[in-house]
Amino acid sequence: MSKLNQFLLGLWIVSLSVLIFVILTMDNGHEIQVVEGHMNNESEQVADGKEDSDEIASQPSMVEQEPEQEHEPETVPEPEPEPVPVVTKETVRLAMMGDVLLHYRLAQYKDFTSSFAAVGSLMQSYDYLVANQESLPVGNKYALSGYPQFSSPPHILRDLQQAGVDMVTVANNHTVDKGEGGIRTLFENLDAQQMPYVGAYKNQEDKNTKRIIELGSIKIGMLAYTYGTNGLYLPKGSPFIVNYIDETTMKSDIEAIRSEVDVLVVSMHWGSEYAYEENDYQRTYAKMLNEAGVDIVFGTHPHVLQPYKKWISESQHETHVFYSLGNYFSTILTVPNTMIGGIASMEITKEGNVITINNPTMDATSVLLDADGVYRVYPLKDVEARSVKNLEWVKQVVGSEVSVY
Ligand SMILES: [Zn+2]
């Protein structure tokens, strides 16, 4: 064989080998395609739901795993975070102002809006404000009158409420000034104005209805008592009730409400008129109220301011006592300093279930006769130059433990 022939033979052998390899490789590829097609068909059948349940069960690897994988994020619960105890903290300011005692010149006012205009923002600044409505607002049934047996126009309730008063105390020495009919009219007018009241009641059921003020989650109980009613009494058999200061009655009332409230407040109409110091009667009942578990005592009746004292019982219970708030709106023109009064308030904080009562405050006020002939109540700090006394004098009377403004 020539070298050329040898080369051609070699080339032919190589070409044949390559051809055989290609044919074999093409067969394998076809085989793979068939396998894939079979798997796809089965998947489609399952997805269409055309196979019966036995057949699905016989193909567990294909049927059950796929849906499980799809739903896994939903069915596996995420680990719950450890609950963090939430301690809520709430702070409110509860306030009371002194006597609203309308002498005849004030009783004739057709509207009291102007008289309270200068103290409007102060009166609105508390979370709850109580006033002692000393003169009976019964002028729609009884002729208007001043001292000694008062009959005031009912719109005093409307204008006090408009100015910021949330509740009135009606246990004082003028509550029976107009007899049983006067008290009936009092309640009609309070109801007509939707003014909450405490200290005198329509009947036993009304008295049994506890006065509980809810400020957020803070529950404040209110009670009110008077030393007397100027020698006037309701007739025997009258359904109406006036709360008189009496140790047995008060202890029973306190016991009934104490466990239902966070803070217990008592309004006391007591003390010597025009005296700047509390007397033994006031101290005796302050001690009794302290030992009975009362938290705050607001006193009225002396017509002038008296000191604040904190009583602490043997069991370490604290009672904040404002012995007298003075007059808020009245014109006892013949006695000095009866035009100076104030709004006393305490800051109540509830953190979790712990109650703290702090920061005794007195916002001093002054009643002045303006040039237009109208008597108006002012924050004393705004009118010191025109008033008979200044803030410094108020501080001396109420004591250094009180923030005076
Ligand atoms: Zn009084």
Chain centroid to Cα 102, Å, comes to: 31
> What is the tally of structural domains in the chain?
2
Cα separation, 327 vs 303, in Å, equals 5
From ligand 1's centre to the CA of 86, what distance in Å? 46
Q: Are residues 168 and 66 in the same domain?
A: no
Q: What is the pLDDT of residue 52?
A: 40
**Within a domain: 122:** yes
Residue 103 CA to ligand 1 center (angstroms) comes to 13
Print the domain residue range for 36. Answer: 3-75
Is residue 330 a part of any domain in this protein? yes
Q: Give 171 Cα–ligand 1 centroid separation in angstroms.
A: 9
Ligand 1 center from residue 106 Cα (angstroms): 17
Residues 227 and 168 in one domain: yes
Among 75, 100, 115, give the residue marking a domain's end: 75
User: Would 84 be classed as within a structural domain?
Assistant: no
Closest residue by Cα to residue 323 from 260, 273, 250, 251: 273
Distance 270 CA to ligand 1 centre (A): 8
In terms of residues, how long is the chain?
Answer: 405
Residue 82 lies in a domain: no
Instruction: Report CA(340)–ligand 1 centroid distance (Å).
Output: 16
Please tell me whether residues 50 and 97 are part of one structural domain.
no
Residues 177 and 40 in one domain: no
Are the CB atoms for 132 and 172 separated by under 8 Å? yes
62 and 135, same domain (yes or no): no
Around Cβ 224, how many Cβ atoms within 10 Å? 26
Report CA(380)–ligand 1 centroid distance (Å). 23
Q: Are the C-beta atoms of 382 and 362 separated by less than 8 Å?
A: no
Last residue of a domain, one of 53, 75, 97: 75
Q: Are residues 184 and 331 in the same domain?
A: yes
CATH number, domain of 99, equals 3.60.21.10
pLDDT averaged per 10 residues, the chain (length 405): 64 64 50 37 38 40 47 66 82 97 97 98 98 98 97 98 98 97 98 98 98 98 98 96 98 98 98 98 98 98 98 98 98 93 98 96 98 98 97 98 98
The per-residue pLDDT for 15 is 65
Q: What is the rounded distance in angstroms from the CA atom of residue 398 to the CA atom of residue 305?
A: 7
Nearest CA to 242 out of 194, 195, 202 is that of 202
Sign of the dihedral defined by the CA atoms of residues 295, 299, 305, 311, in that order:
negative
User: By the 8 A CB rule, do 99 and 186 touch?
Assistant: no
Q: What per-residue confidence (pLDDT) applies to 22?
A: 53
Short-list 372, 366, 360, CA closest to 319: 360
Report how far ligand 1's centroid is from the alpha carbon of 36 (Å).
Answer: 103
Q: Separation of 152 CA from ligand 1 center, angstroms?
A: 15
* Ligand 1 centroid from CA 300, angstroms: 7
- Note whether 265 and 146 are same-domain residues: yes
Q: Identify whether residues 36 and 155 lie together within a single domain.
A: no
Q: Locate tokens 């005093």: which residue?
A: 156
Tell me whether residue 265 is in a domain: yes
DSSP letters, 240-291, are: -EE-B--HHHHHHHHHHHHTT-SEEEEEEE-S-TT-SS--HHHHHHHHHHHH
Looking at the domain assignment, is residue 81 inside a domain?
no
Give the distance (Å) from ligand 1 centre to CA of residue 272.
10
The pTM of the full predicted model, rounded to 2 decimals, is 0.79
